[in-house]
Amino acid sequence: MNNTTRCAAALALSLALALAPLAARAHVFPQKQDPGAGATVEAPAKVTIAFDGPLEPAFSSLTVTDASGKQVNTAKSTVDAQHPDVASVALPTLAAGKYTVHWVAVASDGHRTHGDYSFNVK
């Protein structure tokens, strides 16, 4: 391998390593949930999730289902205009039981992640 080829390879490797953290930050993930995963709580008025980066409001959502899989929230989830990394959804009065929060988070750069977690109401 000649010097030009070595320099080009070293430059390409350096560039790839420098951009790797940016690629990893392209997706957003939950950092804090209220109610929390696995928590047993009094019936909450809403579910809130704080993510590790800003969300695209038009494509990010939260829904809550009961133990039978029926959606219980009638309100549409929202992304907080003052805190674009926070999504929430209002809930009706929930009966005792297990509920699952399903989230879709689209980062401001368009990358999509999704998941779910459960909590219990006393």
Residue 39, domain CATH: 2.60.40.1220
- Between CA 66 and CA 46 the distance in angstroms is 14
pLDDT given for residue 122 in this prediction: 97
pLDDT given for residue 10 in this prediction: 45
The model carries a pTM of 0.79
- The answer, yes or no, to whether residue 19 has pLDDT greater than 80, is no
- The answer, yes or no, to whether residue 17 has pLDDT greater than 50, is no
Provide the number of structural domains found in the chain: 1
**β-pair partners for 104:** 61, 114
What's the mean pLDDT in 47-61? 97
Does 53 fall in a domain? Answer: yes
Would you say 49 and 61 are in contact if contact means Cβ atoms under 8 Å apart? no
pLDDT given for residue 2 in this prediction: 58
Q: What is the span of the domain harbouring residue 100?
A: 26-121
Does 16 fall in a domain? Answer: no
- Residue of higher predicted confidence among 25 and 39: 39
Would you say 49 and 60 are in contact if contact means Cβ atoms under 8 Å apart? no
What is the rounded end-to-end Cα distance, in angstroms, of the chain?
69
